[in-house]
Chains A and B, each alone.
Chain A
Amino acid sequence: MKAPPLEQSPELVSLRRVLDESAAVPVLLFFATGVLWLLAGTVFGLLTSLKFDMPDWLAAIPALTFGRLRPAHLNAVNYGWASLAGAGCLLWLTSRLCMTPVRLRGGLIASVILWNLGVLYGTGAVLLGYGGSVEWLEYPLPAAAMIGAAFLLFAASILQTFRMRSVQHLYVSLWYTVACVVWFPFLYVAANLPIYSGVVHGAVNWWYGHNALAVWFTPIGLALAYYFIPKVIGRPIYSYYLSLLGFWSFALFYNWNGIHHLVGGPVPNWLQTISIIASVLMVIPVMAVAVNHHLTTVGHFRHLRSSPTLRFTVFGAMCYTAVSFQGSLESLRGMQEVVHFTHYTVGHAHLGVYAFLTMILFGAMYYITPRVARWNWPHPGLIKLHFWLTAGGISIYVIAMCTGGILQGYAMNESVRPFAQVIDLTRPWLIARSASGILITGGHLVFAYLFAQMLIHAGPRRETAPWEEAAA
């Protein structure tokens, strides 16, 4: 397809350079602290997983018991890694798509500091036993308030950059970006208000827990995939119309899904049914995204060999389709009877936040970091190692947890079977999970090493800069 004649000024060549320079400091701060939280969160996760194989290990240290490590893992990877890295990517993307420098940079630096203090405070509180018991909202109120304030500063910067845009048409990624910075602060503040109790608290808990994915993490992943897949291949999205249909149906259906976490629970039945219906309706936006991304990439799979960004992004986009269909099925009452309270849910959660979101974040960071750090990735071989360790690791993880979870669910439903037997049944799958965790940890160490080299411009200098590179 040929590009239509666009009126471009010669200054445009340097405009991208100006945009990247405006974004450099905040984006690198978001990325660097995000990578630190990725490492911390990975350690928490791996320890948690190993405790299933060796229950007595580290059991004498209160801070390293399961009940504290698990929420520490959840919060460190979500509010630390995925949110910080995602915010960095959105900043860069907004500047690119609005063709204007990043605004309110001072506020962004304050935001990174406040955000990290909040995550540090919250994770420390969880480890020391001061965490709450509401999943996804374990941080004490002061930590949540710091993260909320940091998010408002970040949102203000995105919205100001958006307001100063010099483009007429809003690209589909921009719709997702602007929508999520408006949605998420409301969600986060509303869920953290100390006004709920009883069943209502449970309903608010999962309204929040699911919507953190629906209005924050998923829009980040989709905004990045909608930009990087066409950009790296050099071919516009297959059907732009479909992408907009996808966005609006996404906005309409996704925020109703939360209560499907409580199917069979004490919340009113009609509330559960509405959530199940909305979960099934999610097939529409998911199909729109899946068809669009596939038909954009089809015939260009050779670029997967040459581009690290495309490898990670396409892997993530495929997992988005998988996790969403899995989620729609999982919300059905018949399926819930089997998989509720099993490891299946854990597998599903990691397919979403890791295989979809984190892999897309890696892909985006491979594209963005060289442009803002003005240095090319020093060791291409290590990038490949990073990909295969994480992609292989998470594939084993999800297959082991979902298979083990279904077996566990059927076994638990047999009322005559002793519970200890059900535990024994899950053991090989949990060992496989820990093994995959070791692979993933290895991948993260490789990535952190590469990223640190980018920050200090270390390692061998590559001949061409990434912004001049084009795959043959």
Chain B
Amino acid sequence: MILPPRSRYHFSYGHFDTELRYRRMNVPPATLLLVVLSICGAALALAAFVWAVRTGQLDQTNAGGLVIFDDEEPAGTPSGPIFPKRKEGAGL
């Protein structure tokens, strides 16, 4: 891992003066950017939820489970691959 040299953003506990310590706690722009991006991410998740509610994704609570079946592979029919029919006395 390549680490940058200690920059002016480096937070140091080398000072016992509390006020000075807080004054030195600069937030690097990259961290700020990450915070902003995280909030955008959370907003995106919220938007996805609102979209799901509005478009009725959460309404078809029973039919939703059936979308993986259709005429070709109907519900009630298991699908393969399967092991060939077991002979009498064959093991697991």
Whether B76 lies near A235 (C-beta < 8 A) is yes
Question: Chain A residues with Cβ under 8 A from B4's Cβ?
Answer: 194-195
Instruction: Decide yes or no whether A170 CB sits under 8 A from chain B.
Output: yes
Whether B80 lies near A466 (C-beta < 8 A) is yes
Question: Chain A residues with Cβ under 8 A from B37's Cβ?
Answer: 186, 190
Instruction: Decide yes or no whether A416 CB sits under 8 A from chain B.
Output: no
Contact A169/B1 with A197-B10, A248-B49, A367-B81 known, Cβ cut-off 8 Å: no
Instruction: Decide yes or no whether A329 CB sits under 8 A from chain B.
Output: no
Question: Chain A residues with Cβ under 8 A from B65's Cβ?
Answer: 230, 236-237, 240, 243
Q: Which residue of chain A has its CB nearest to the CB of B40?
A: A186
Contact A231/B79 with A12-B71, A133-B1, A305-B92 known, Cβ cut-off 8 Å: yes
Cα-based distance from A280 to B4 in the complex (angstroms): 37
Instruction: Decide yes or no whether B19 CB sits under 8 A from chain A.
Output: no
The smallest C-beta distance from B51 to any residue of chain A, in angstroms, reads 10
Instruction: Decide yes or no whether B44 CB sits under 8 A from chain A.
Output: yes
Cα-based distance from A1 to B80 in the complex (angstroms): 20
Cα-based distance from A12 to B73 in the complex (angstroms): 10
Task: Give the residues from 37 to 85 in chain B that come closer than 8 angstroms, CB to CB, to chain A.
Answer: 37, 41, 44-45, 48-49, 52, 57-58, 60-85
CB-CB contacts of A198-239 with B at 8 A, as 1s and 0s?
101000000000000000000000000001001111111101
Whether A169 lies near B60 (C-beta < 8 A) is yes
Q: Which residue of chain A has its CB nearest to the CB of B80?
A: A469
Contact A306/B82 with A12-B71, A236-B66, A384-B92 known, Cβ cut-off 8 Å: yes
Instruction: Decide yes or no whether A298 CB sits under 8 A from chain B.
Output: no
Instruction: Decide yes or no whether A429 CB sits under 8 A from chain B.
Output: no
Instruction: Decide yes or no whether A67 CB sits under 8 A from chain B.
Output: no
The smallest C-beta distance from A33 to any residue of chain B, in angstroms, reads 23
The smallest C-beta distance from A139 to any residue of chain B, in angstroms, reads 9
Q: Which residue of chain A has its CB nearest to the CB of B3?
A: A194
Question: Chain A residues with Cβ under 8 A from B91's Cβ?
Answer: 384
Whether B82 lies near A4 (C-beta < 8 A) is no
Partner of B45, one of A232, A251, A471, A472: A251
Contact A4/B45 with A140-B1, A470-B79 known, Cβ cut-off 8 Å: no
Whether B34 lies near A171 (C-beta < 8 A) is no
Instruction: Decide yes or no whether A403 CB sits under 8 A from chain B.
Output: no
Query: Which of A80-88, A339-347, A375-383 participates in binding chain B?
Result: A375-383
Whether A307 lies near B86 (C-beta < 8 A) is no
Instruction: Decide yes or no whether B30 CB sits under 8 A from chain A.
Output: yes
Instruction: Decide yes or no whether B31 CB sits under 8 A from chain A.
Output: yes
Instruction: Decide yes or no whether A456 CB sits under 8 A from chain B.
Output: no
Whether A234 lies near B1 (C-beta < 8 A) is no
Whether B80 lies near A169 (C-beta < 8 A) is no
Cα-based distance from A402 to B28 in the complex (angstroms): 42
Instruction: Decide yes or no whether B2 CB sits under 8 A from chain A.
Output: yes
Question: Chain B residues with Cβ under 8 A from A200's Cβ?
Answer: 11
Task: Give the residues from 1 to 57 in chain A that come closer than 8 angstroms, CB to CB, to chain B.
Answer: 1-4, 6, 8, 12-13, 16
Partner of B79, one of A4, A186, A469: A469
Whether A182 lies near B44 (C-beta < 8 A) is yes
Instruction: Decide yes or no whether A309 CB sits under 8 A from chain B.
Output: yes
Whether A4 lies near B63 (C-beta < 8 A) is yes
Q: Which residue of chain B has its CB nearest to the CB of A198?
A: B11
Whether B61 lies near A241 (C-beta < 8 A) is yes
Question: Chain A residues with Cβ under 8 A from B75's Cβ?
Answer: 1-3, 234-236
Cα-based distance from A367 to B41 in the complex (angstroms): 34
Instruction: Decide yes or no whether A424 CB sits under 8 A from chain B.
Output: no
Instruction: Decide yes or no whether A134 CB sits under 8 A from chain B.
Output: yes
Contact A307/B68 with A140-B1, A195-B4 known, Cβ cut-off 8 Å: no
Whether B30 lies near A376 (C-beta < 8 A) is no
Residues of A within 8 A of B (CB): 1-4, 6, 8, 12-13, 16, 97, 132-134, 137-138, 140-141, 167, 169-172, 179, 182-183, 186, 190, 193-195, 197-198, 200, 227, 230-237, 239-241, 243-244, 248, 251, 303, 305-309, 366-367, 370, 376-377, 380, 383-384, 388, 462, 464, 466-472
List 8 contacting pairs A-B, 8 Å CB cutoff, sorted by A: A8-B70, A133-B1, A169-B60, A234-B74, A236-B68, A306-B83, A370-B81, A376-B81
The 8 closest A-B CB pairs, nearest first, are A469-B80, A132-B1, A466-B81, A236-B65, A240-B65, A241-B61, A234-B78, A3-B75
Residues of B within 8 A of A (CB): 1-4, 6, 10-11, 28, 30-31, 34, 37, 41, 44-45, 48-49, 52, 57-58, 60-86, 91-92
**Other contacts beyond A197-B3, A231-B73, A466-B81: 7, CB < 8 A:** A8-B72, A137-B1, A170-B52, A194-B2, A197-B10, A308-B81, A462-B84
